[in-house]
Structures are given as structure tokens and as C-alpha cells.
Amino acid sequence: MTIRLLLCSVVTSIALSVPAQTTCQRTKHCSAQGQAKGGPQDLRSDSIDLLVTRVHLNLLDAPNDLIHAMCVLRLVPKVPGVTQLRLDLIDLTVGSVLDESNQPLGFSHANGVLRVDLAQPAGPADTMDITVFYDGEPAVDPSNFGGFYLENTYIYNLGVAFDAQSHSYGRAWFPCFDNFVERCAFSFHVTTRGGRKVWCNGAELGVVSLGGDTTLTHWSIDEPIPSYLASVAVANYAVVHQEFPSIGGTNIPVDLVALPGDTTQMKNSFLHLQDAFNRFETCFGAYSWNRIGYCLASRGAMEHPTNITYPDFIADGTLQYEATMAHELAHQWFGDLVTCDRAEEMYINEGFAEYLSYLFLEGVYGPDRYRSTVRANHYEMLRRCHWEDGGAVFRPR
């Protein structure tokens, strides 16, 4: 099976099972259409290594569609003579950039590119912290999938954008190398109010009261992840907590996070989550992250590791969309642990995640369900792929 067919099968399965544009697969379909190629390879990571990204996010101005933020990037050059740092950050306005001595650094910010002039040429012995202060209304993708959403009920990001070039979309809320290859640890320091709970990647390290109903919540993930997998979700959430025994010998905490009135439906829709977990561990090895987490929001789904963003309207109490639940869990192995280098290689993420969702169906409902799902996919692929791709394209080999 070709890459092209794999990608088409992914999209077709979505058309069969869930409302249009509800899952991360469709995002990557765009890259298969030729309308959103990955462009020239981003080579920044060859000369600079981002070690830690610390995002401080003040959401008190969210009702005015504004964020106020500070991001501290710990980085080290891989080669001598580095004089400038080129970061991606769109729409938001940069107020200042400081070095680790709190001395201002020269910068320019235009067309989504933030160029920071280092005080002196730096090399591999010069690990440094660069702090960027910025504000504004964060971007959302015109496709309705991707960016940073400031809504009354949910405040959250989707780290991939359907239409944007590149699809990786960390740059909607923090300065980064917005490519698929740069990985670093992250911490998140989020200020909010009104009893809202903050969920991010990794582990919650504490919640501090700042007076009244304002809180500062600290999350951290030590495992290095690319910018598109960084995640925050904020709402008046409640959580259903479970634990799955892992073949690795530990119990993996599971957090199903939803508005209080939605937790029962979510739990019912996730009835077979443990079956998916067990099947994937049996086939592909022990789960590698510190927890499993799904946060409901108004759109998705997106496989942010340990903090999957999942559309509330498909956690409806039925099992109709459970293949999507399994697909996103599968990404914790394929996509989140191993990530494509470029958008053109998205089959590594999406092809395998979709295949694993079929293994899930086989495990729960038997081999006939696997076969019928694959056959339906093949049929739809042959019938619709050339439409979805905007016409048949034949390239000489």
C-alpha cells in the first residue's frame, strides 16, 4: 500500500465515522493533497538545540480575547559563532526580549518570524535563557482546526492547523522552532480565575492561590516533545480518574476531563479505553508516558501527549466514535513517541494510528469487524480518494 493510499484511508474512515473535521487525521490529509507541502526543510535544529520551554500564560484577559505571556527558552548552540536566534511566533506582539542577566536584546518581529540578536557570538559551551514577553489575540486557523481558542466555556489550543504552513502550530501561543524535529521539555505556568482548572502535558506540580478566585497552576513534562504537541486546556473541569495496570509493571493514571455535567457521558463513551490500552501495549510495548489524559473541548481531536484534546460532541455517551478515541491513544505510540520529520511523511503518524484503531476494533469485536472496517475503507478510498485529493495525480518514478 502506498503512502497516498494510507493517507486517503485515514480520511475516508473519518468521513464514515465522525463529523467532518473533528479529528487530527484530516489535518494531515491536507499535506497529502499537495496544497500544503512541508516546504524547505527547517534546518535550525542543526545549529541550535532548544532544551526547555517555559510558558507563562496569563488568561485573566481572555474575555477580551487577549493573552499576556512570557516564555523562557533554555537553549544551547550546537556550533560556534551563533549570533542570532530565529523563532516562530505569529499574530502576538512582542514587547521585549531579555537575556539571562535581564539585559534587553535587540529583536525584530515581522511575518511571524522573531529574530533575536544575541549579545555576543555563542557556541556549544553557552547554554542560555532567552525570555520573550508578548501579548495579544492568538491566532486560530481559518479551517476551524488549529490555534489557540479563547471561548467562554473552554480555553485551549490545538497544536496542528489544517490550512497553515507549516501545520505545526505552536507558534500560535509561544515562540518556538515550529517544526517536527525540535523536541524539548516544557513547563506551563497558567493564571486563570473563576474556579477554572488547568490541564497540560505531563504532571501537575501545584496550584497557588493569587487571591480571590485567581489561581496559578504549574505543569511540567520532562520528556522532550515538539512544539505541536504542547497543550493547555482550561475550563470549569471535573475529572473521572481511573488506573490501568501496565505491562511495564506500574499502574498508569487515567484522567477523563470534562465539564461536570458531561463526565458520565464521557465515561460511557470511553468504556473500551482500557481494551485499547491493553491491545496497544501487547502489540507495541509498554505505555511510555506518565499518564493518559483526555480533555473535552469544543473541537479536536488532537493527540497532545498525556493531554489529548477531544471534541465534547463525540463523547456523547455512545460508542459510535470510539475508534477515534482509540486512534488518539494510538498516537501516544505513533506520532508522539516517533514523529515524522516532515509533513510529507505524515503516514508515520496517521497511517499507524489509524491502523491501531482497527486493531482496537478487532480486539473488542473480533476479526470480522476488522475486515469489514478495512474493506469499507478500501471501497470508500477507491470511490472518493480522487475527489478528496482534487484529482488524480500521477508522478513519474
Contact residues for Zn ion, defined by CB under 5 A = 24-25, 350, 353
Beta strands in the chain (DSSP E): 48-58, 67-77, 82-88, 93-98, 107-110, 113-122, 128-136, 147-150, 155-158, 184-193, 197-200, 203-209, 214-225, 232-235, 238-245, 251-258, 292-297, 308-311
Alpha-carbon distance of 89 to 87, in angstroms, equals 7
Whichever of 71 and 356 has its CB closer to Zn ion, that residue is 356
Q: How far is the CB of 341 from Zn ion (least distance, A)?
A: 17
State the nearest-atom distance from the C-beta of 24 to Zn ion, in Å: 4
* Closest approach of Zn ion to the CB of residue 331, in Å: 6
Nearer to Zn ion, 57 or 329 (CB): 329
Smaller CB separation from Zn ion, 147 or 335: 335
Q: Which is nearer to Zn ion, 59 or 356 (CB)?
A: 356
Mapped to the 3 state alphabet, what secondary structure does 313-354 carry?
Answer: HHCCCCCCCHHHHHHHHHCCCECCCECCCCHHHCHHHHHHHH
Least gap, CB of 191 to Zn ion (angstroms): 31
CA distance 81 to 319: 57
Q: Which is nearer to Zn ion, 184 or 353 (CB)?
A: 353
Query: CA-based Rg of the chain, rounded to a whole angstrom?
Result: 21
Query: How near is the Cβ of 376 to Zn ion at its closest, in Å?
Result: 19
Decide: residue 211, CB within 10 A, 0-12 exposed, 13-18 middle, 19+ buried: exposed
Write down the least CB distance from residue 346 to Zn ion, Å.
9
Whole-number Cα distances in Å, 145 to 54, 193, 201, 297: 25, 26, 20, 12
d(Cα 181, Cα 165) in Å, to the nearest integer?
Answer: 16
Least Å distance, CB 187 to Zn ion, is: 26
Picking from 243, 238, 73, the residue whose alpha carbon sits closest to that of residue 170 is 73
Task: Write down the least CB distance from residue 23 to Zn ion, Å.
Answer: 6
Q: Between residues 162 and 237, which has the closer beta carbon with respect to Zn ion?
A: 162
Residue among 190 and 353 whose Cβ is closer to Zn ion: 353
Nearest alpha carbon to residue 191 among 147, 159, 155: 155
Residue closest to Zn ion when measured from CB atoms: 24
**Which of 208, 201, 391 minimizes the C-alpha distance to 304?**
201
d(CA 134, CA 69): 5
Phi, psi (rounded to 5 degrees) for 16: -80, -35
Complex with Zn ion: residue 167 or 218, whichever CB lies closer: 167
* Least gap, CB of 303 to Zn ion (angstroms): 6
Q: Pick between residue 27 and residue 217 the one whose CB is nearest to Zn ion.
A: 27
Structural contact between residues 55 and 157, judged by C-beta atoms closer than 8 angstroms: no
